[in-house]
């Protein structure tokens, strides 16, 4: 059998961040919960850690509890159960000193009634950033977030994307060790999003820890060292994106292209061989020269195809396996027909 021509293993995952390594925890959350009333929980039983320089993504559907989690962890809401250690201090005891080490971009847009540029420098002033530093940092942020053209305009007159960029830019006016970003890229075009994600990844490499909520799963895949998937206020899974994808991906789609059309007998034989292999699979299409099927464990079936083709002197021109995306894993995790959340929470190191 010739080497598989044009063989590929689906989209390669390009990550902005380096691989996860043991880090000093800046945030340690243990069975944290927040209830609006004794029988109405917004979040419950959340446990995860965020290390120094680590990007942790919180994913979930609307109303899953992402924003409430951010509000509790930034001391805006008091937890009603469980504990969290922020920079090693119990969240209940955290005050000015701990908040001074945080950056927070909330989902709700906040602004002052001055120009974009003055908003940045005024925010710097509020945080005690020296005037000259604030001025130069404002220039840097205006350039980085492409706000130079609107620097003299009031923020409420900006487009949705510009306002979102402004929110992130303003928060980056001061120094911080842990940055909370609640859906920072909503409404941004792909290029701007990429630029912001690259900047955040750079800051993470420099030691900034980031807790990041998003609906855009591709972003989480690119930026986050680890993710947590929230559903109805509970953490359904957490771990590196690759692990979550591996654990919760659906069947992968495999396409095997042969050098010639297979005869009817060959097709039946091949299907029988695959069936005997013991792996569950589902034929999507079987055109004369191309078999497309879905399987959870695609590797074994691909090997079976090779073994079947080899003695028949039949070349397999092409094998492509489309890798599961985080979106597929996410959908599997949070879809309505997902298994009920009664068992132990899945967590990957």
| Interface with another protein (CB under 8 A), residue from 128, 250, 288, 289 | 128
Q: Cβ of residue 162: shortest distance to another protein, in angstroms?
A: 16
Per-residue contact track with another protein, 82 to 101, x per CB under 8 A?
Answer: -------------xxx-xx-
| Interface with another protein (CB under 8 A), residue from 114, 143, 261, 303 | 114
Applying CB under 8 A, what is the total number of residues that bind another protein? 27
Contact between 247 and another protein per CB under 8 A: no
In this structure, are residues 119 and 111 in contact, taking their beta carbons and an 8 Å threshold? Answer: yes
Q: Rounded distance, CA 345 to CA 46, Å?
A: 10
Q: Which residues lie closer than 8 Å to 42 by C-beta, 6 or more apart?
A: 34, 35, 36, 65, 68, 233
Contact between 11 and another protein per CB under 8 A: no
| Interface with another protein (CB under 8 A), residue from 25, 122, 314, 331 | 122
Which residue shows structure tokens 């070349």? 315
Q: Rounded distance, CA 33 to CA 43, Å?
A: 5
Alpha helices in the chain (DSSP H): 66-73, 96-99, 116-126, 131-144, 160-171, 190-205, 217-223, 241-248, 264-276, 298-309, 326-334
Q: Cβ of residue 145: shortest distance to another protein, in angstroms?
A: 17
Rg of the chain taking only CA atoms, in angstroms: 25
Q: Cβ of residue 118: shortest distance to another protein, in angstroms?
A: 8
Closer of 133 and 272 to another protein (Cβ):
133
| Interface with another protein (CB under 8 A), residue from 88, 130, 278, 289 | 130
Q: Cβ of residue 317: shortest distance to another protein, in angstroms?
A: 58
Contact between 272 and another protein per CB under 8 A: no
Contact between 133 and another protein per CB under 8 A: no
Closer of 5 and 114 to another protein (Cβ):
114
Closer of 159 and 268 to another protein (Cβ):
159
- Span of 70-78, 267-275, 278-286, 295-303 interacting with another protein by CB under 8 A: 70-78
In this structure, are residues 30 and 83 in contact, taking their beta carbons and an 8 Å threshold? Answer: yes
For 116, 139, 146, 166, 312, the CA distances from 149, given in Å and listed in that order, are: 10, 12, 7, 12, 67
Contact between 286 and another protein per CB under 8 A: no
For 33, 77, 108, the CA distances from 72, given in Å and listed in that order, are: 9, 5, 15
Q: Interaction with another protein in 146-205: which residues (CB under 8 A)? A: none
Closer of 134 and 262 to another protein (Cβ):
134
- Span of 49-57, 71-79, 212-220, 254-262 interacting with another protein by CB under 8 A: 71-79
Residues in the chain: 349
Contact between 40 and another protein per CB under 8 A: no
Contact between 76 and another protein per CB under 8 A: yes
> 88-91 — which CB contacts under 8 Å span 24+ positions?
none
In this structure, are residues 85 and 27 in contact, taking their beta carbons and an 8 Å threshold? Answer: yes
Closer of 131 and 205 to another protein (Cβ):
131
In this structure, are residues 149 and 159 in contact, taking their beta carbons and an 8 Å threshold? Answer: no
Task: Summarize as ranges the residues that interact with another protein (CB under 8 A).
Answer: 71, 74-77, 95-97, 99-100, 102, 104, 106, 108-114, 118, 122, 125-128, 130
């Amino acid at each position: 059998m010739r080497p598989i021509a044009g063989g590929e293993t689906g989209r390669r995952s390009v990550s902005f961040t380096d691989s996860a390594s043991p880090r000093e925890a800046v945030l340690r959350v243990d069975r944290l919960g927040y209830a609006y009333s004794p029988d109405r929980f917004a979040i419950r039983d959340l446990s995860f850690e965020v290390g120094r320089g680590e990007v942790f993504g919180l994913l979930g559907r609307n109303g899953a509890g992402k924003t409430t989690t951010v509000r509790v962890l930034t001391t805006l809401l008091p937890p009603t159960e469980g504990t969290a250690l922020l920079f090693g201090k119990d969240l209940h005891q955290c005050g000015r000193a701990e908040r001074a080490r945080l950056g927070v971009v909330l989902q709700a847009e906040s602004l002052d009634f001055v120009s974009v540029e003055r908003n940045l420098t005024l925010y710097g002033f509020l945080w005690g950033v020296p005037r000259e530093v604030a001025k130069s940092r404002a220039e840097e942020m205006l350039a980085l977030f492409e706000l130079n053209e609107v620097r003299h305009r009031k923020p409420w007159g900006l487009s949705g994307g510009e306002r979102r960029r402004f929110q992130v830019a303003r928060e980056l006016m001061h120094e911080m060790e842990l940055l909370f970003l609640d859906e920072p890229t909503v409404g941004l075009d792909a290029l701007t999003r990429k630029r912001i994600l690259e900047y955040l990844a750079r800051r993470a490499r420099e030691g900034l820890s980031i807790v990041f909520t998003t609906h855009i799963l591709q972003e989480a895949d690119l930026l986050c060292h680890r993710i947590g998937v929230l559903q109805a206020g509970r953490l359904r899974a957490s771990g590196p994106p690759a692990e979550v994808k591996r654990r919760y991906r659906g069947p992968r789609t495999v396409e095997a292209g042969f050098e010639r059309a297979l005869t009817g007998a060959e097709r039946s034989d091949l299907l029988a061989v695959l069936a005997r292999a013991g792996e569950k699979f589902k034929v999507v299409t079987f055109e004369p020269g191309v078999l497309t099927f879905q399987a959870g464990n695609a590797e074994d079936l691909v090997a079976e195809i090779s073994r079947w083709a080899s003695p028949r002197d039949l070349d397999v021109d092409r094998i492509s396996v489309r890798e599961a995306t985080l979106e597929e894993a996410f959908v599997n995790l949070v879809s309505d027909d997902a298994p009920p959340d009664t068992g132990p929470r899945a967590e990957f190191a």
